[in-house]
Structure formats: structure tokens, C-alpha cells
Structure 1
Amino acid sequence: MTHLVVLVDSERPDAYVNSVAYNLRSRAVKRVSFIHVYGFPDDVNSQVSSDLSSHIMMRVMGRLKMLATQGSYIDHNECIVPLGGPGDSLSIEEIKFFYSSGADNVNYSSEEVHYRDLRNFFRQIRKGKQEYIVDVTACRKRIIGDFVAMGLVDGLRGLYTFDVTVTIDYGSQWKSLLHELANQRPVGFSYIDILETSIIRDSVRVVSWRAPRFGLAWIVVAALVTAGIGINLGFGLDSLFAKWVNVVAQFVTFSALLLVFFPPRNR
């Protein structure tokens, strides 16, 4: 069972419908959490919890239910738009079947998370036994940068965005719903993990090498200390080998301190 975490940053429910519907159909998602982050530094408009996550969750659920049960859509003006007509790619029954797939027994929830608690919130997500997907489709660039940083430093994975790859008709947004995009040739959307680019993967490896996990660092330190004690016990403190090991260790220590204050760059 996969846990879908939807980051809420837009007040338009249309921005989330395709992402949720796609994951319900394709990723065996049975838990969907709508998360709104508030309390951004230097942003006076986001200092107080606004209950936006709950508001968006209810409106997205209503739209998905309308599609699955009536083959209709609720537009941004809260008007019901019948689908499945002559100009649509699917009939009304096909639309209902399309959005009913994977929609049963899904647990929806919403939560307001303060910016200062964001890293800890996602650490708990990562520690859970469920696979997870983090959807940032409706997020502004400001917060996406924070999530990329968490991918580099904290090991966050599965950071996805739903990209429409065809021209959007903003006057008839239901034409850009998932079932319409999926029936185009080529398919009119892509669902991309933005942490799986070659540059991000290389950066993760560099960060992991230069800043290993705390537990791993302690294991390496303990192994080196044990090896040092073993060498001195085996060869004796007055042996030539032990003396050279101590000399080399001193120069390595000084070099390490130098690199701490003056870290090298590739270019």
C-alpha cells in the first residue's frame, strides 16, 4: 500500500485532481494526505494555520466522486459540467469506470504543518513502513527548493509533479482532465520524479560521501580506533612501524582540519 502526500499550496482544487486520480489508478495508493505548510519566514500571510488542507481535500474528493458516480465534473465556478458528449474521448460510462478504478477503500486525511516542523514531519514519513509519494504539482518554487534540499540532505525520495504536455484550454479545463490526456497520442501528460535527474543523483552521492550518516560515521571511527590500538599492541609502541603510523596519523589530522576550514571544489 502506497501513501500519497499531496502538498497543498494553491486554492484551486483543479490543480490536484489529476495527480490524485493518476496515483489511485496507477500506484495502488490507499492513503492520501493533503498537507499545507504555513509559517514561512518573511511571509506575513502564511504565519497562521488556514485550514486550507482540509478545504482542498473535501473539494478534490467531491470532484473525484462526481466523476466516478455521474461522469460529470465540478468546474472552478462550482458548476456541474456533464462529460461524455460527442466531443469527448470517452463515453459517460467509460468516464465513470475510469475514475472508479482504484478509488475504493481510500483513507483521506489533511494536516497543517508549520514550516519549522517540515523536516521532522517527512522524517516520520520516511521512517514509516509504507512506500510514499510526495506530490508537489501545485507548489510554488519557494517550497520546491526546500524539498529538493531535503532530497539531498535528508534522503527524501519520490518527489513527483504532474506536467501537462499539451496546450491547456483554460476556458474548458475539463478538457485537461486525466482521462482526456491519457487517451491522446502521444499521451498528453508526464508524471516526473524531479529528484531522479542525473545532476540530483550525482549531488546526492557527493553529499552522502562528504557527510555520511551519524551511525555510519561512528562505526568508521570505532573501526579506526580499534585498528590503531591493535597495531600498537601487535607491534609495540616503540617499533618503527608504530612510529611511522603515528607520524602519518598526525599529518592526516592536520590535513583534515585544513580541509574542514577550506573545503575543496571540483572547479
Structure 2
Amino acid sequence: MKDLYIFVTTDRPDQYLNPIVHCIEQGVRKIVFIQVKDDRIKEVRLNSLQTNVYSLLQSLSNGIYKYYTGDSTEKEIELEAIYNASDLAELKAKYALCLTDSISWSVDRVEYSQLRSFISNLGKRKNVILDVTSVSKVYIGDIFACSLLENINNLCTFELIFAPNYEKPWEILIHDLAKNEGYKYVNLIETEIFKKSGQSILIKTTPLLASIIGTVIFVSVTLAATFVLGFNSTFIQVVSIIGTVLGIISFFLVYFPVRGK
């Protein structure tokens, strides 16, 4: 079973419902709403959002669509007037599946300065999905970068593949989208460019690791040889010269790194 960590930036529950239902149908049993705590974005009332998402699921499981934001707040639409009996029964069952006691719901805030550490901890687990469907563009670059560096395997987004009709918001929920193949749940880590970027970072990091290991070995051998042969031996003098040359080269590589074209 996997856990879904879904980044949020607004109070509107509809946009979180689709990825949540999709993931629950795929076996997710833990939902966590995450907001990055930062001055650039208005703070979302996470507990209220969680309640509204759950309430919307309850309403839909009873055949009712309810507005939670905008001029139509609290307005309810009876879906039995829109769908036939068979489709309505299927719709109710889909959302009722998300209301079982086996699914846990929670919220969390992450300080912007701690975002990489937070994602790093998630990356140590293999059963985590990070959802960025509704994350603010302010943070999308940060989350991508951290996911790449911290070996996140599931960085996903719920993508509509048609122009949505916001006048009828129930038509852009997953019960309609699934029937019309109107969405894709995309793992952004699986794109060709993302994979190549990860490989490039590994290639660029490997020489650094090799140099650190080589330095440790070089120093260890030098100290051992000095202890056995003494400071005046020819071997130690040669090693000293080599060490000096390598130190000068390292200095220039640090301050004047070689960059690929």
C-alpha cells in the first residue's frame, strides 16, 4: 500500500478530489495534505480543506454535487436529474469506496527551508506518491529539484486531456473522466528528459565521490609510509611533490571548474 502526499495551494476541494480518488482505487490508504509554509503564498486552512474534501466525497456518494467556493457556495446539485440510474449508482459506489475506515486522513505544513529535508525523508520510503497537480508554480521547480536529488520514484500529476467546462464542475470529476478517458495520471519521474537528467547528475557526482575516496586512500598511504620510512626517504619526498601538484590542480578546479559545452 502506498501513501499519497498531496501538495495544496487553494481551499477549493474539487481539484484534490480527482487524484485522491484515483490513488485510492490504486491501493493508497493514507492521504496527507501538505502545504509549503512561506510568505509568498496565502496560508490554506488545511483542516477545513480536509473536511471539505471528505464532505464532497460524502455528498457525491449520495448523488449530490456541492459547491464549496465562489458565488455558488453551499449550493447543491441533485445528480439524479443528470445521470441515468445505472450511471448514478456507479458514481455513488466510486466515491463511497473512499469513505472506508481503512483510509487515514491528515494534514501537515512544511517550512520552505525544510522542503528538501522533508522530501528526502519521504524518498527513503518506497511506498510514497507526491502529487503536484495543484501546487503553485512558485514551488514546482523546488519540488522537482528535490525529487530528482532525493530519489523520489513517484512524482505525479492529474492531467485533463480536454478543455474543462467549469460551468458544470461535476463533469470534470473522475467519475465522468474515467468513462470518457478524459485524464491521465502521469508520473513525471518517468519522462525521458527527467530520467536523463538524473543520470547526468549521477555521472557528474561520481568523479567527486571518487576524488574524495582517492584522497582518503592517498593520505592514509602517505601517513603509513612516513611512519615506516621516515620523513627523509625518497618515496616520501616524491609523494610530497605529487600531493602539492594535486593540491594546486584541485584549487583551480574548485574556483575554475571545467564545464561541458
- CA shift at 1:140, angstroms? 1.6
- The gaps in structure 1 that reach 5 residues or longer are none
- Residue 208 of structure 1: how far off its partner (Å): 3.4
Structure 1 position 55 matched with structure 2 position 52: no
Distance 1:255 1:197, change over 3 A: farther
What residue number does 2:13 align with? Answer: 13
Report the CA distance between 1:7 and its aligned residue.
0.8
User: What are the equivalent positions in structure 2 for 1:26-65 lying under 5 Å apart?
Assistant: 26=26, 28-40=27-39, 43=40, 46=42, 50=43, 52-65=45-58
Question: Residue in 1 aligned with 2:22?
Answer: 22
Quick one: which amino acid aligns to residue 89 of structure 2?
Answer: E
1:248 Cα deviation from its structure 2 partner: 5.0
Counterpart Cα distance in 2 of 1:146 and 1:247: 44
Over the residues paired in the alignment, what is the CA RMSD in angstroms? Answer: 3.3
- Residue among 177, 185, 190 paired with 1:191: 185
Runs of 4+ aligned residues of structure 1 deviating over 4 Å after TM superposition are 84-90, 214-221, 223-240, 242-250
Distance 1:88 1:262 in 2: 70
1:5/1:33 contact within 8 Å kept: yes
Task: Check whether the contact 1:84–1:91 (CA below 8 A) recurs between aligned residues.
Answer: no
Question: What are the equivalent positions in structure 2 for 1:152-171 lying under 5 Å apart?
Answer: 152-171=148-167
Aligned residues: 254
Q: For 1:123-166, what per-residue CA distance to the aligned partner results, in whole angstroms no more than 9, with x for missing partners?
A: 33334x56111111111211101101212333344221111001
- CA 246–210 in structure 1, closer or farther in 2 if over 3 Å, else same: farther
Q: Residue 92 of structure 1 aligns with which residue? A: 88
Rounded Cα–Cα distance in structure 1 between residues aligned with 2:80 and 2:218: 69
Query: In structure 1, what is the equivalent of residue 119 of structure 2?
Result: 122
| TM-score, scaled relative to structure 1 | 0.79
The structural deviation recorded for 1:95 is: 1.1
In the alignment, the residues of structure 2 paired with residue 136 and residue 202 of structure 1 have an alpha-carbon distance, to the nearest angstrom, of 21
5+ unaligned residues in a row in structure 2: which ranges?
none
Letter matched to residue 126 of structure 1: G
TM-score between the two structures when normalised by the length of structure 2: 0.80
Cα distance in structure 1, aligned partners of 2:162 and 2:81? 21
1:195 is paired with a residue whose SS is helix
Going from structure 1 to structure 2, the CA distance change for 1:234 and 1:208 (only over 3 Å counts) comes to farther
Structure 2 residue corresponding to 1:258, chosen from 252, 255, 260: 252
Contact 1:3 1:130 (C-alpha < 8 Å) held by counterparts: no
Aligned equivalent of 1:178: 174
**Structure 2 CA distance for partners of 1:263 and 1:9, relative to 1, 3 Å:** same
Deviations 1:159-188 (A, max 9, x none): 21111001211100111111211111xx21
Instruction: Quote the Cα distance in structure 1 between the aligned partners of 2:84 and 2:229.
Output: 83
Alignment partner, residue 72 of structure 1? 64
Q: Which amino acid aligns with 2:193?
A: I
Q: Which has the higher helix share?
A: 2
Give the AA of the match of 1:17.
L
